[in-house]
Structure 1
Amino acid sequence: MRVSVVIPVFNGMPHIPEAIDSVLRQRHDDLEVLVIDDGSNDGTRKAVSAYGAPVVLLSTDAPRSGPAAARNVGLRAATGDLIAFLDADDVWLGNKLAEQVAYMSGHPEVGLVSTNSRYWRPRPDGTYPSPDEAAAWADASAVSGDGGLSGWLYYEILLKPSTVWTSTVLMHRWLLDKVGLFNESLRLGQDYDYWLRASRHTPIHRLPGCHALYRQHEDNSTGRPRPVNFELQIFDSAMRRWGRLGPDGRSVPRNAVRERYHRLNFRMGYHHYWRGDPGVAMRSFAAALRWRPHAPKTWAYLMASSAKRIKRGGASAGLETRAE
């Protein structure tokens, strides 16, 4: 079966060659690697073009269209029976593709197979261990655990987006036909939205063992938070569209739904309290309290953010510097 690998990229140097090389090392002959450039200006296009077949360089219609638009360009161009995804700064390990293809050949009813993955952190000097070095200690730092977690996973994905990590996914074309393309209106969380939609149409199986590395950057947790809570939007949309009941008949407990709403709002408020807009923080904490009215920590942050909004700089003393 032909496999199409979809890799969106924007200013992917120096990491994009490692990502492509990790795909080309896979033991699968019928392969196309679709790298979709989203307006890079750092040499990415030159580096990708140098590979030649089976690597194909594509472009989004407009620069900085976002990863959803880039992936959709790749999905429209893909000719494979199976479709895989990889982010431009991550890598695959071992025989990931061969193991997934073999598994899907033996389980034609399964439309999507993922794997475990691990964090790939830089050394103190900012350089990264080689993928082979990182793979040797990969089991120590999980991104997605529960190796072998399989079944109708709407319940699990709804409550924990990292249940399916995009750079490990291999899916059937028939699932693409059912689910459609990524939602380009979402600037973040497009993959969470996509795997939720996929979970309504197919069982999802995860192979045990670490088959991919998720590169961590020093700036992953810095910068001003966004004004829109995309994860909350996606979760709320799923609840309105499908509710708590999964295709397998399992129902997410009401308390778990309330707690998820509370945490999503609290997290948004927390990030804005410390690094963003205290007005957004105040509204987010107020929304969180609608789901857990007796949460003392949330009340404390609501009052502090209200004061901070007025004073623009005060009222932060004594609060924990760690989100729930």
Structure 2
Amino acid sequence: MPRISVIMPVYNNAIYLQEAVNSILLQTLSDLELIIIDDGSTDGSAGIIHEIKDTRVKKIFHAENMGIVTSLNQGLDLAQGEYIARIDSDDIAALNRLEVQAYFMDQNPSIDICGTGYTTNYLGPVKLNPMYHEEIKVWLLFNCCILHPSVMMRSRSIDRLGIRYDHNYPHAEDYELWNRLSSSAQLANIPHNLMYYRPHAGQISNTQRAIQDITARRIRERQLSQLGIQLSDEEYAIMTRLAEFRVNSEDFEDYRTATGFANWLLDQNRQFHVFDQDILAMALSRCISRVPY
């Protein structure tokens, strides 16, 4: 049984694929399997995968495109490792990424899932997400603060929690999963840059932004329903401005409206005790003041 299983779904990423594969096969922790699932690519990606000779690579080929959720769940079913990691076929892992994450998970047995810091430029700056579970749980109301392709999970946690991606949340399946698990799993982010997250025009966040925004609204509203809150369109627009750090501090009415909305959330949380009150207050204050984590 390999120490780590790495799941890499692929769809039409031939231009970046080999570099992503190399960044896993050349890891300092070599006791791994790489599960590559080609989801009906038409750009030559399948040919590149066929040519990989490393015996640690499992190759799955779909005759037609079935969607990333199907590929991810198939990868979870096939994975044999003690830990299960993710990477996308257009990103690059630091060569010690798996070693650092596995050590962190070994030293923190209560953690079920951890992500890492990352950069979108070879020269930086480094993006560090909230580190601790209660911080992550709060910030997930506003943003997906766990980078999906940087994630490592415990195999036994996947079985215990029944972790699977949900087809009902298109193009935000990871955001839905972290929010769903935030009440039953322990989440963490390692404050080290272990990933190059490649921005490009073909990313889902660019090509499917409208659908992604609709799905994100459903996820946020589901979380807020735990506070007894149902948002109108106008109220959700305020929530979005907070999440995107777009409150205009020079516009008194906009600032007052955002502050009133924040106080409403805090009052409801004081009643229902879903989130850590101090961390929620801090996050809302940072959103209003346009000071990202």
User: If the length of structure 2 is used for normalisation, what is the TM-score?
Assistant: 0.72
Counterparts in 2 of 1:226 and 1:19: CA distance versus 1, 3 Å = same
Counterparts in 2 of 1:209 and 1:96: CA distance versus 1, 3 Å = same
Q: Are the aligned partners of 2:117 and 2:126 in contact in 1 as well (CA < 8 Å)?
A: no
Give unmatched runs, 5+ long, in structure 1: 121-133, 246-253, 268-290, 296-324
1:303-322 matches, cutoff 5 A: none
Aligned to 1:105: 106
1:27-106 matches, cutoff 5 A: 27-52=28-53, 53-60=55-62, 63-106=64-107
Deviation at 1:12, TM superposition (A): 1.4
Helix, strand or coil for the counterpart of 1:226? helix
Q: Is it true that 1:234 corresponds to 2:234 in the alignment?
A: no
RMSD of aligned C-alpha atoms? 3.2
Q: Is it true that 1:171 corresponds to 2:153 in the alignment?
A: yes
Counterparts in 2 of 1:3 and 1:258: CA distance versus 1, 3 Å = farther
CA distance in structure 2 between the partners assigned to 1:223 and 1:92 by the alignment: 24
Counterparts in 2 of 1:185 and 1:64: CA distance versus 1, 3 Å = farther
Deviation at 1:263, TM superposition (A): 4.7
Deviation at 1:219, TM superposition (A): 5.4
Deviation at 1:145, TM superposition (A): 3.9
Q: Is it true that 1:13 corresponds to 2:7 in the alignment?
A: no
- Deviations 1:258-301, CA, capped at 9 Å, x for gaps: 9983256679xxxxxxxxxxxxxxxxxxxxxxx97x99xxxxxx
Counterparts in 2 of 1:111 and 1:69: CA distance versus 1, 3 Å = same
CA distance in structure 2 between the partners assigned to 1:259 and 1:110 by the alignment: 38
Aligned to 1:201: 184
Deviation at 1:186, TM superposition (A): 2.4
Deviation at 1:222, TM superposition (A): 5.8
CA distance in structure 1 between the partners assigned to 2:45 and 2:198 by the alignment: 18
| Amino acid corresponding to residue 215 of structure 2 in structure 1 | F
Give unmatched runs, 5+ long, in structure 2: 243-256, 262-293
Deviation at 1:226, TM superposition (A): 3.4
Give the one of 133, 155, 161 matched to 1:151.
133
Aligned to 2:4: 3
Helix, strand or coil for the counterpart of 1:175? helix
Helix, strand or coil for the counterpart of 2:120? strand
Counterparts in 2 of 1:90 and 1:263: CA distance versus 1, 3 Å = farther
Q: Are the aligned partners of 1:45 and 1:57 in contact in 2 as well (CA < 8 Å)?
A: no
Counterparts in 2 of 1:50 and 1:207: CA distance versus 1, 3 Å = same
Counterparts in 2 of 1:194 and 1:17: CA distance versus 1, 3 Å = same
Q: Is it true that 1:188 corresponds to 2:171 in the alignment?
A: yes
| Amino acid corresponding to residue 8 of structure 2 in structure 1 | I
Q: How many residues align structurally?
A: 240
State percent identity of aligned pairs. 24
Q: Are the aligned partners of 2:10 and 2:88 in contact in 1 as well (CA < 8 Å)?
A: yes
Counterparts in 2 of 1:260 and 1:77: CA distance versus 1, 3 Å = farther
- Deviations 1:46-99, CA, capped at 9 Å, x for gaps: 211222321111134x62222111111111111111100111101101311101
Q: Is it true that 1:262 corresponds to 2:222 in the alignment?
A: no
Moved more, 2-11 or 197-206: 197-206
Counterparts in 2 of 1:108 and 1:239: CA distance versus 1, 3 Å = same
Find the structure with the greater CA-based Rg.
1
1:275-290 matches, cutoff 5 A: none
Deviation at 1:117, TM superposition (A): 0.9
Q: Is it true that 1:117 corresponds to 2:111 in the alignment?
A: no
Deviation at 1:24, TM superposition (A): 1.1
